[in-house]
Structure 1
Amino acid sequence: MKPKIFFLLFILAGIYGCSSDDNADSTPNIPQNSECNNGFAGIYPCNNYDLIAHLPLSTFGGIGITGNDSWGWTDSASGKEFAIICTSNGTSFIDVTDAVNPIYLGTLNTATVASSWRDVKVYNNYAFIVSEANNHGMQIFDLTRLSDLTTVPQNFTADAHYTGFGSAHNIVINEVSGFAYAVGSDTFSGGPHFVNIQDPLNPFGAGGFSGYSHDAQVITYNGPDNDYTGREILIGSNVYEVGLFDVTDKSNPIEISTVNYSNIGYTHQGWFTSDMNYFILGDELDEVNYGGNTRTLVFDFTDLDNPIYHTDFFGNSPAIDHNGYVKDNLYYQANYTAGVNIYDVSNIENNSISKIGYFDTHPENNATNFRGAWNVYPYFESGNIIISDINRGLFIIRKSGT
C-alpha cells in the first residue's frame, strides 16, 4: 500500500472513529477575551496565553463539517488582519482586526466535493487553495475583495482556477520567487508540482519532480552555507526522510541531500529557524507507533550538503504533533489534542529548548488521536495568533500581558 493511501486511511480512522464527548457543537459559550487565570481561560487549559475570541465551526455553515488548515493575510493598504480558515466544505474568511469581535465575511466553497484535507497559502494579496478533493485543482481568490464588503456573510467565487493537477495534499509558496509548489498531488507521483504565480490570476505549470512529499518549505536561501546563497531551496518532509533540493532552475531540480532519523513514523512537516541554522521537524505517527510523549526533532542545516540530526525535545503529553512554524526565536506547534504549544528556541544551538506557554483547544484530554488543533498562524504584526481546530473552529489567542 502506498504511504499516502495508508496515511489517509489512518487519519480518517482518527478523525471519525472517536467518542461522543468530542462533538464539535458541544462547546459551551465561552466569554470572549478570557484571560488565562489559574491555568484556564474559560474551559480551556492555558499558560501565558489568553483567549481573545472563538468562532465555532457552525459559524462557517454546513452540518457536520470539520476544520483543517489556516493562514492569515494583512491588507497593506488598511492594516486590517484577516484569518483564513479551511473546513471540509470550503475556505472561510474572517476579519480579525478587532480580535475581540471577529467578523465572519463568508466562504469560498470547495471546487468539487467535500474533503477533510484543504490547505491555503497567500501571495501578493491572493489566497491559493488546494484540497485532497477529487479534481479540485487550485482555487485563487483575490483577498482585497474582503476589505470593503458592505454585506456579510457572502458566498464567494474564485477569481481563477488552476487545473494542472486535480487533488493535492498541501501547497507551499515562496513569496520571494513567486512560485507555488503543490505537494502530494496526483501528478509527479506526489512530488512537488511547480506553478508560476507571479501573475496570480494567470498561473502556469513550470515542471516538477517525482517522489511523494507530504509537506515542504521553500525559501530563497540566505543562511550560513555560502554555496547556496540566493538559490531557491525546497525542504521536503517526505514520509520517511527529509529531502533538500535546489529548485532554482525549474527545468533541472537537483537533489542536494537527504537526512533521516530513528523511530520514523511519518515525516510530516518542518520549518527553518530564523537564522536558517536549524530545521525543526514534526513526525506525525511516532507517538502512535512507538509511544511516549510528543517528540519534535531538530536538524543542523548549517551545511546543506551534510544535514545532521542535532537533538529532539518532548512535550508533556502523548498528543500528536502537527504543523509548526517559527517566528523570531519562538516555535509555535499545533499539537492536536494538546492544543498549541510555544517553545523558546533561542538557545537551540546548545540543545536547550524551553516551553514558555500553551493554549489547549481540546480540553477533554491529551490523547494520542487526531482531534483538536490542526494549525497555528503566528505572523500577524498585532501579536494575535490564530488556531484552526478540527472540532471547534477558529481560536484567537494572545500572549498574556501584551
Structure 2
Amino acid sequence: MRSILVCLQLYLFTLNAQDSWNVNLVFNWHDTSLPATFAYSNVYNEIWGFEVNNYDYAVIGSTNGTHIFDVTNSDSIYERLYIPGAAQGGEIVHRDYHDYKGYLYIVCQEGASTMQILNISMLPDTAYLVYDSDSTFSQTHNIFIDTSSGIMYAGYVKTLYPSPLLMGMAVYDLADPLNPVEVYYQSTNVHDIYSRKDTVFLNSASDGLEVYDFSNPSSPVFLGSLTGYAFEGYNHSGWLFDDGKHYVMSDENHGYPMKVCNVEDLNDIEVVSHASSGVDPNSIPHNQIIMGDYLYVSYYHDGLFIFNISDPTDVKVCGYYDTYLPSDHASYRGAWGVYPFLGPDKVLLSDMQSGLYVLDVTNALNYNNIVKNYIKGIKVYPNPASGQINIDIGNNEIGPVKLKLYNVSGHLLYEKTLSNRIESLDLGHLNIKGLVFCELYSLKDIKVHRIKS
C-alpha cells in the first residue's frame, strides 16, 4: 500500500495571496452600508467572543459601533445586538473588547469616545448598556483583563478629567466591575498587554518586550526585558504559551516574522525560533492568540494562519484561510483579529474590508496528528527556492520514492519517481509560483514528516 513518507511546505518565488488549506468557511458577514475609514478604507476592526448561558457569541467592531452575533448554531448565525459607538464614521480605526464577570467592556481610540460596559449576563433574552461615559477615559487603543485578579490594563489612554492627559498605559481595578478605579499609569508607550496571574508582558512599541510583576498594581516590579533581537521593530502584540515557558510576539513591520521567546528565565529572555506566513516578503502578523498547542494569527493581507507550536523551536503551519483577495502587501489591510476559544468549528476572524468570518479549523488541528511519527534525516532544500530543489532521503532504507507537488488548491503540478538517495530537480520550466506542497510516497509503513527550512 502506498503511504505518505514526507509532507512538507515548499515556497517557490514569487509568493502570491493564498486561498485556504485545512480551514473551511462557516459564515461571513459584511454590511456594505457601513462607512470606511479615511485611512486604508477599513470598515471593521477587533474581534472577540464569549459564551453565556450555553450560547456562543461573536463580537466585531466597525466604524459605527459594536456588532454582536449569535453563533451558537452554525446553520443560523445572525446579528443579535448592535451597540452604536459614541463616536462614529471615517475617523474610527480602533475598537477593542474584553469580557469579565458577565460584562463586555467596549473601548475606542478615536473621536469623542467613551468606555461602554454591556451587561451580557442575561443573554439570550436581553443585554443592555450599564455604563457609557468618558469619566474613566475617553480613548484607549486596547484593553486586556487579567480575570484571575480583576485588573484591566489599557494601552494608549486619553483621559479628560480632571484635565486632559495622554498615558502610555493605565491600570484599573475592577473590584466593582461597573466602577473601574485607576491604580497606576505611566507615560511610556505600551501598545499591547498580556497578563497571567499578575505577570504582565508589555509589547512596548519601540522599546521591545518588557515584563513586570503587577501583584501590587500600584507599584509594579520590573522582571525582565528583551531588546536588540533580530527583526526588532515596532513591538506590537504577543501571547503566552499555555505552559508559561514561551511567549510569541510580533513586530508590526513589513516582512518581519514572529518571534518565539523562551521566558523561563526573565533575566535572560531568548528568541528560540521565528515563524511567518511565507506568503509575501512584506507579510505582517497583526494579532495572535494561543490555545493549547496551536497559535492562531491574523495576518494583514494574508488572513488566518494556524501554527502547531508543540515544539517551540520548530513552529509549523497547519492551516490558513485568506480573507483578503487582492495581492498587494504594501499597506495595512485584511485580517485584524482572531478568537479561537469557542471551539475549532467556530474560530472567529475579523477582516477590515470584508467583515466577520466564522471558520472551521478542525482539519488543521487534525492535520498534525499524522505528523507525529516521522523519518528523520530527510531534507528538501533550498526553501524558499527559485526553480531548482534538492531532495536527500539520507540513510533511510525506504526504496523507490514518488514525488508529487501540489498547489494550494490541491491540483497536481508535477510528479516523478526518485531512485537515487540525492536528486536535483529543475522545476523552472513549470513556472510554479507561490506556496507548494511536496509529498514523498513510499511503499512501506506510514511515515509522515514535515520539513521547514
TM > 0.5 fold call: yes
> Which of 187, 201, 204 is residue 235 of structure 1 equivalent to?
201
After TM superposition, list the pairs within 5 Å mapping 1:335-354 onto structure 2.
335-348=299-312, 351-354=313-316
Flag the structure with higher helix content.
1
Question: Deviation per CA, 1:84-140, whole angstroms, max 9, x where unpaired?
Answer: 101121111100001232110221111234411111111112111111123423211
Task: Give 1:278's aligned amino acid.
Answer: H
Return the offset for 1:194: 1.2
After TM superposition, list the pairs within 5 Å mapping 1:2-401 onto structure 2.
45-58=19-32, 62-64=34-36, 66-75=43-52, 77=53, 79-114=54-89, 115-149=92-126, 157-161=129-133, 163-186=135-158, 190-220=167-197, 232-240=198-206, 241-260=208-227, 261-285=229-253, 287=254, 292=255, 295-318=257-280, 319-348=283-312, 351-365=313-327, 367-381=329-343, 383-400=345-362
**Counterpart of 1:128 in 2: which secondary structure?**
strand
Return the offset for 1:44: 7.9
Question: Deviation per CA, 1:309-344, whole angstroms, max 9, x where unpaired?
Answer: 222123222321100010000000000110000000
Which position in structure 1 is the counterpart of 2:389? none
Is the 2:23–2:320 Cα contact (8 Å) retained in structure 1? Answer: yes
Structure of greater Rg:
2
**Counterparts in 2 of 1:400 and 1:113: CA distance versus 1, 3 Å:** closer
Question: Deviation per CA, 1:175-204, whole angstroms, max 9, x where unpaired?
Answer: 111111111112675332111223222222
Is the 2:115–2:131 Cα contact (8 Å) retained in structure 1? Answer: no
CA distance in 1, matches of 2:218, 2:72: 42
Instruction: Name which structure has the greater RCO, CA cutoff 8 Å, separation 6+.
Output: 2
User: After TM superposition, which residue ranges in structure 1, 4 or more long, deviate above 4 angstroms?
Assistant: none
Is the 2:47–2:337 Cα contact (8 Å) retained in structure 1? Answer: yes
Return the offset for 1:157: 4.3
Question: Deviation per CA, 1:142-182, whole angstroms, max 9, x where unpaired?
Answer: 11344115xxxx9x645454622221111111011111111
**Counterpart of 1:346 in 2: which secondary structure?**
coil
CA distance in 1, matches of 2:316, 2:18: 22
Return the offset for 1:306: 2.4
Question: Deviation per CA, 1:247-268, whole angstroms, max 9, x where unpaired?
Answer: 1112211222210223322110
CA distance in 1, matches of 2:190, 2:239: 15
Task: Give 2:301's aligned amino acid.
Answer: T
Return the offset for 1:298: 1.2
Which structure 2 residue ranges, 5 or more long, are not aligned?
1-16, 38-42, 160-164, 367-453
Return the offset for 1:238: 0.7
CA distance in 1, matches of 2:299, 2:337: 8
Return the offset for 1:210: 2.9
Return the offset for 1:211: 1.1
**Counterpart of 2:121 in 1: which secondary structure?**
helix
Which position in structure 1 is the counterpart of 2:430? none
Return the offset for 1:274: 0.9
Question: Deviation per CA, 1:45-102, whole angstroms, max 9, x where unpaired?
Answer: 11001100111133xx634361000100101x2x110001011211111000012321
Question: Deviation per CA, 1:323-382, whole angstroms, max 9, x where unpaired?
Answer: 00100000000001100000000011xx21110000111122252421111001001146
**Counterparts in 2 of 1:44 and 1:384: CA distance versus 1, 3 Å:** farther
CA distance in 1, matches of 2:362, 2:171: 41
TM-score w.r.t. length of structure 1:
0.78
**Counterpart of 1:305 in 2: which secondary structure?**
coil
**Counterpart of 1:190 in 2: which secondary structure?**
strand
**Counterpart of 2:309 in 1: which secondary structure?**
strand
**Counterpart of 2:349 in 1: which secondary structure?**
strand
Is the 2:34–2:63 Cα contact (8 Å) retained in structure 1? Answer: no
CA distance in 1, matches of 2:116, 2:247: 30
Is the 2:344–2:362 Cα contact (8 Å) retained in structure 1? Answer: no
CA distance in 1, matches of 2:45, 2:130: 20
Task: Give 1:327's aligned amino acid.
Answer: M
**Counterparts in 2 of 1:341 and 1:201: CA distance versus 1, 3 Å:** same
**Counterparts in 2 of 1:162 and 1:128: CA distance versus 1, 3 Å:** farther
CA distance in 1, matches of 2:297, 2:308: 11
**Counterparts in 2 of 1:308 and 1:244: CA distance versus 1, 3 Å:** same
